Amino acid sequence: MIFGNPLTFAAEVVVEPGPEFPATFGSNVAGRMRLIIGGTNVGNIDEPRCVPRALSEHLVELSASAPALWHPLLEDVAPHEQLKLLDDALFLGGGRPELENCHSLIFLTNVSEAFDPIKGFALCHSPSEIYLLLKLEVSGPVLHFVVPYEEFAGVAAALAQWVSEQERMLLNGPAV
């Protein structure tokens, strides 16, 4: 299932196709997932037994907190330097102490195995756009995407609804 527009921002998620792995993992739906941002595949759709709820909750939380996804120290700083400043402060134990409380800006890092080894941050300097800074590989380049806020929030809401429907069907059984 693809939610959104792969040319700007989309989530692709499927329930675990089996047969080697079941469609549930404990009290969660299991599946495979990735994002497609600006036509770029972000994540590994072949990674089995991931929990789509984790991605769904992450995107919904970022959508809800979008106005707070900014810090003045990032003003007039190039995207690759923004990522470096945030990475140093939040993950590498150095850099600007003023940025050490910016955990809400983290995007995809540690959300699911499907997104290993991605390092990312979501910034919202304008209420109409979310800026996504990503390194898909440890030594890879910094990618910078601008996503309209409404699209980002729409994908988050559609994915959350789909995850809830899958949980209802797979974990609770059919409605009577």
Q: How many CA atoms lie within 13 A of 124 on its CB side?
A: 22
Residue 151: per-residue pLDDT: 98
The alpha-helical segments, DSSP class H, found in the chain are 52-64, 79-90, 149-171
176 located within any domain: no
Residue 57: per-residue pLDDT: 98
Number of domains in the chain: 1
From the list 77, 65, 70, 52, the residue with the least C-alpha distance to 160 is 52
Q: Is the pLDDT of residue 174 over 70?
A: no
Range(s) of the domain holding residue 39: 2-171
Q: Is the pLDDT of residue 172 over 90?
A: no
Residue 175: per-residue pLDDT: 54
What would the pLDDT profile of 73-127 be if each residue is shown by its tens digit? 999 999 999 999 999 999 998 888 999 999 999 999 999 999 999 999 999 999 9
48 located within any domain: yes
Q: Is the pLDDT of residue 20 over 80?
A: yes
The token pair that represents 124 in the structure block: 């919202």
Contact 140, 130 (CB under 8 A): no
Give CA–CA dist 164/170, Å, rounded: 10
Residue 173: per-residue pLDDT: 66
Query: pLDDT grade, residue 25 (50/70/90)?
Result: confident
Radius of gyration of the chain (CA): 17
Give CA–CA dist 14/33, Å, rounded: 7
84 located within any domain: yes
Q: Is the pLDDT of residue 62 over 70?
A: yes
